[in-house]
Amino acid sequence: MDSHVLDTLIARYEAEEGRLLGILSEIQEQEGYIPHDLLLMLSEKLGIRLSRLYSLVTFYSFFSLQPIGEHVITVCMGTACHVKGAEAVLAALEQHLGIEAGATQDGKFSVTTKDNQFTVTIARCFGACSIAPVLSVDGNLFGYATPENLPAILAGYGWREHAD
Amino acid sequence: MTHGSSEQNDVPEKPVIITINGRPCRAGKGETVLAVAIREGIPVPHLCHEESLAPYGACRLCLVEAGKPGKTEMTTACTLKAADGLEVITDTPQIVKHRSILFELYLAEAPKSEVIKEMAARYGVTKTRFLKKMETDDPLSEKCVLCGLCVRVCNEIMGAGAINFINRGPYTVVNTPFLEPSADCYGCGACVKVCPTHAVVMEEAGSERVMRSWSGTRVPLAACSCCGMYYAPRELAARTLAALDPHLDQDLAGLCPACRGKRIAEREILARQGGAGNHA
């Protein structure tokens, strides 16, 4: 996204009130993350301090400051899924993708594989407890997830076993 | 700013009398109970109160029991406006209990803060049952209680906006964006001054001021044109000089406060001697 595109994006918001989150979420959706230089540019164009923008972006888990992978896998860690073994599913997922999940420095739970194919995040509840444990890949829900059926799910998104 | 200041302008203001711990206290219109208590020397613990900023009610330590007899509620003294006949008690058993828990929480959040330790000890709280925050290389020296005073003074008073809250929940910290040295920081040190737990640190390193807590932001200092001492951040000094009305004389600008005082005194003496000479 260049300066001109950002200008047209900003111009779509008439009211100053409340436009900030709208603009930021559009950047997040179009770029897949909030690039450092875009945040700087936005700060200049809107006359809002960078510290304020950074504060907002790090507050909402919707925003990411790091590029996210091609496919986003969200594992539900809600109560029902937890009881049904979500932790084992997450552990297996980590193993298959060769990543170590855990809270990042900013406290957001989001890890991306080295080849930028997958980003793993967690959620608290999808509201699909009847088919727990649940995970979603790019918005598609997969119920009754087990460490065993994970490879089949992942394969649908271009994952190969031992494909380092 | 003051509520209803336009009404009854010609009628002399009725004094507002409130009672704190049974002692009648005179209060100004719109004054907060905490401000009255501080003036009267009645101890009410507080961390996030700063005269130059609007009441915020962040630290919750100034909890008091207030109201009319038989109809009281627990509320923060810093956000409570003094109203005639208001009765305030600063230390009921219930308040002491709540405050003690708050102190325990603060001891866990800012384990290295001597200020917190002393305040808590006055309430007999020396230990915490909560998990202490352990952070290696915390730029705020494990003393920050996230009261927000530094953020507010930087944004609302100085207008610099160099720092803000980052992240959320237990991961919340105050720092510069991207944890990089800030170009917006004036190096004024207001954040250091308002910090109730002395968490914010800066130091002078030769011709620069280093904001250690704010990602090592370095701000160039201005040297006194007379004695050569570094006396203020360069940009801040220039801005202040430009904002002065009437302007400071050219030969006084660029001097440190001590040399400026000396130069003004010298001038006064010369003028008087000159004046006396004229009369002779």
Residue B127 carries which side chain, given as an amino acid letter?
Answer: K
Which of B67, B91, B115 is a domain's end point?
Answer: B91
* Stretch B20-46: mean pLDDT: 93
Q: Which CATH number is B82's domain given?
A: 3.10.20.740
Residue contact B184–A50, C-beta within 8 A: yes
Cβ–Cβ < 8 Å for B84, B14 = yes
Long-range contact pairs involving B253-261 (C-beta distance under 8 Å, separation at least 24): B254/B222, B254/B224, B254/B225, B255/B224, B255/B225, B255/B226, B256/B224, B256/B226, B256/B227, B256/B229, B256/B231, B256/B232, B257/B231, B258/B227, B258/B229, B259/B224, B259/B226, B259/B227
Residue contact A50–B167, C-beta within 8 A: no
In chain B, residues with a C-beta closer than 8 Å to the C-beta of A60 are 168
In chain B, residues with a C-beta closer than 8 Å to the C-beta of A58 are 166-168
Residue contact A53–B176, C-beta within 8 A: no
The answer to whether the Cα torsion of B230, B233, B235, B238 is positive or negative is: negative
Q: Could you list the residue range(s) of the whole structural domain that residue B225 is in? A: 136-238
* Residue B66, both tokens: 């207030």
- pLDDT tens per residue, chain A (164 residues)? 888 899 999 989 988 888 999 999 999 989 988 999 999 999 999 999 999 999 999 998 888 888 888 898 999 989 999 999 998 998 888 888 888 766 555 556 778 888 888 988 888 889 999 999 999 999 899 999 999 999 999 999 988 876 44
Q: Which residue has the tokens 């507050």?
A: A59
CA distance B108 to B270: 61
B161 CA to chain A: closest CA distance, Å?
6
Asked if A59 has any chain B CB less than 8 Å from its own CB, the reply is yes
Q: Assess whether pLDDT exceeds 80 at residue B275.
A: no
**What does the pLDDT read at residue A164?**
47
**What does the pLDDT read at residue A100?**
75
* Residue A67, both tokens: 């590029």
pLDDT above 90 covers what percent of chain A? 45
**What does the pLDDT read at residue B279?**
47
CA distance A150 to A136: 12
B144 and B190 share one domain = yes
CB atoms within 10 A of CB B263: 15
**What does the pLDDT read at residue A68?**
83
Cβ–Cβ < 8 Å for B218, B235 = no
Q: Does the residue B154 lie in any domain?
A: yes
CATH number of this structure's domain A71-155: 3.40.30.10
Pick from A38, A51, A60 the residue to mutate for testing the B interface (most B CBs within 10 Å). A51
**What does the pLDDT read at residue A18?**
82
Q: How does residue B280 score in pLDDT terms, banded at 50, 70 and 90?
A: very low
pLDDT above 70 covers what percent of chain B? 93
Q: Does the residue B126 lie in any domain?
A: no
pLDDT digit string (tens) for B113-149?
Answer: 999 999 999 999 999 999 998 888 899 999 999 999 9
pLDDT digit string (tens) for B172-231?
Answer: 999 999 999 999 999 999 999 999 999 999 999 989 999 999 999 999 999 999 999 999
Q: Assess whether pLDDT exceeds 60 at residue B3.
A: no
Cβ–Cβ < 8 Å for B21, B89 = yes
Residue contact A49–B161, C-beta within 8 A: yes
CB atoms within 10 A of CB B112: 18
* Mean pLDDT value across chain B: 90
The answer to whether the Cα torsion of A90, A63, A38, A55 is positive or negative is: negative
Cβ–Cβ < 8 Å for B163, B151 = yes
Which of B38, B60, B91 is a domain's end point?
Answer: B91
Q: Does the residue B1 lie in any domain?
A: no
Q: Which residue has the tokens 């979420």?
A: A25
Q: Does the residue B114 lie in any domain?
A: no
B40 and B66 share one domain = yes
Q: What backbone torsions phi and psi does residue A50 show, to the nearest 5 degrees?
A: -60, -35
